[in-house]
Structure 1
């Protein structure tokens, strides 16, 4: 493509020579195809994890005078290598391409005021094409700036525990467990129950499950914390609204490379299972308890009739807990620390409120409310929408932190 070529000149030719309009439109289509291939060449290498794009916070970063805009201008300026110590030519290339594409868009937008109707229509089509390419470039820049966490690609252990509120808390815990199980199905993830301790009236005291699938931990890590429910319980005879809590803990499952456990440091105990479970209860030593001697961390499982299967599940939970402790020691990232997720289970330490009378679910970390609580509890698109909003907000925080460090 010649350096002195300008799309504006091409449009002017249409206005001066109407008879050549058809041929010129074909040329424009060829030009757009060539530019598309050129852009794909520049964007050939893409990061592994998908981006969150289009959120108000992220769009605000690219606005004039914003932190992202100032950073990109300095990034593409003279002496950038000495000033920033930039080692990522891909980021600088994307920033330069973004600036060129924005300049091209401004030039084409001026043609919208032209008297020639055909020229204006061609300009409108070209503007749409430019805006799509700008979105892709912004998305690429965001991905290059956001530091990916080691555990984002991991599977996870989900733990739910009833908190304050007695039987009502246990009933709500059972509903939350069902919601996450349906969400795993919605995302086409694998869901395996590790332990399940029901209450007398159909609630749930405590349960854990293994969830595996593409970027399962990256999606679910924002669910860790205290969840509060406000409603009139089924057990309430006078119609008074109660406030109860339950807690969710999300533990990344390590791979064999992430964590190695010495078998000599384990104490494995067997006992007879208790509670509902059929004829094998209190007749076979199928329940397994494993203690990690150096740390004192213990896990147990009695979900299956097979002692071997229960041992495998207990080991899976133990590995996840030890890995979470290791992450907490190595980093200060809030989402990797299990104690931050659980807190004291009090009513005030909430991350989300489920207000049934108002048909509302509110996440207090991003001050976002969704209405239609019954659909939300189905664990499908509304829950996914809220999780996506949390991811976008986390991306926004990560980008602002990275930019402030580099500037």
Structure 2
């Protein structure tokens, strides 16, 4: 999972931090393993960008519905006039490939090491522990500086690179199959907002299924309410898939 602050400056970064925490709690609720691979905080406690690995029973089948643009509407803490601002952040969910599905030629990699930057205690800037890997044929870059050990950072960066390459391959395959679904299975485009968190009205709306629920604070605990929303999205996607199969069969029968 990759989260990135979008439009809205510091407020977008604060919202990104809240969403990231929500998914960390959701992983705990589902008994999944949640491992932070990258974390770039902002000055006032927000989050610019972060990457985490989520592993557990059906983790991808649930989390893939969270990929896309999340929008927040509220009065920021920094706002003196009490005006409501709209900010966004994006979530990207990539399936973690198996060793078999993505084969990377070591000759295609350029591996660089550098000193870690940012908040991280005394070990930061003392050793060249941060690792950056460039996949030369595609230009895809992966980096990790969470660990003190260069070896661990390299392992995590390779894991992220595999996921990015696998996702690129998956997107290519998806484009070949021209089927368009209201909810894309596997890869969710970032272009349109999928959900709005409206704080003044205490309402969360998922635009893909036109469903609204109230009590934002409970929703963002990342427990029953979020799980119910994702379950509804899964059911809707299953229905869409079934409708698609039926219409394809009807076309075949007609031809």
Partner in structure 2 of residue 336 of structure 1: 186
Contact between 1:190 and 1:212, CA under 8 Å: does it hold in 2?
yes
Task: Let me know the Cα RMSD of the aligned residues.
Answer: 1.1
Distance of 1:335 and 1:395 partners within structure 2: 10
Partner in structure 2 of residue 175 of structure 1: 18
Please give the residue correspondences for 1:297-312 in structure 2 after superposition, counting only pairs within 5 Å: 297-312=140-155
After TM superposition, the score normalised by the length of structure 2 is 0.93
User: Aligned pair 1:296/2:139, yes or no?
Assistant: yes
3-state SS, counterpart of residue 285 of structure 1: coil
Query: Structure 2: which 5+ runs fail to align?
Result: 251-255
Give the Å deviation of 1:372. 0.7
User: Aligned pair 1:188/2:31, yes or no?
Assistant: yes
Contact between 1:359 and 1:371, CA under 8 Å: does it hold in 2?
yes
Structure 1 ranges of 4+ moved more than 4 A: none
Distance of 1:231 and 1:281 partners within structure 2: 36
Give the Å deviation of 1:313. 0.9
1:363-406 deviations in Å (ceiling 9; x for gaps) = 00100001111000000000000001110110111011111222
Distance of 1:280 and 1:185 partners within structure 2: 29
Decide which of 326, 346, 370 is 2:169's aligned counterpart.
326
1:120-145 deviations in Å (ceiling 9; x for gaps) = xxxxxxxxxxxxxxxxxxxxxxxxxx
Contact between 2:73 and 2:199, CA under 8 Å: does it hold in 1?
yes
Greater share of residues in helix: 1
Aligned pair count reads 243
Greater share of residues in strand: 2
3-state SS, counterpart of residue 331 of structure 1: helix
Distance of 2:185 and 2:236 partners within structure 1: 13
After TM superposition, the score normalised by the length of structure 1 is 0.59
Partner in structure 1 of residue 218 of structure 2: 375
Query: Structure 1: which 5+ runs fail to align?
Result: 1-157, 344-348
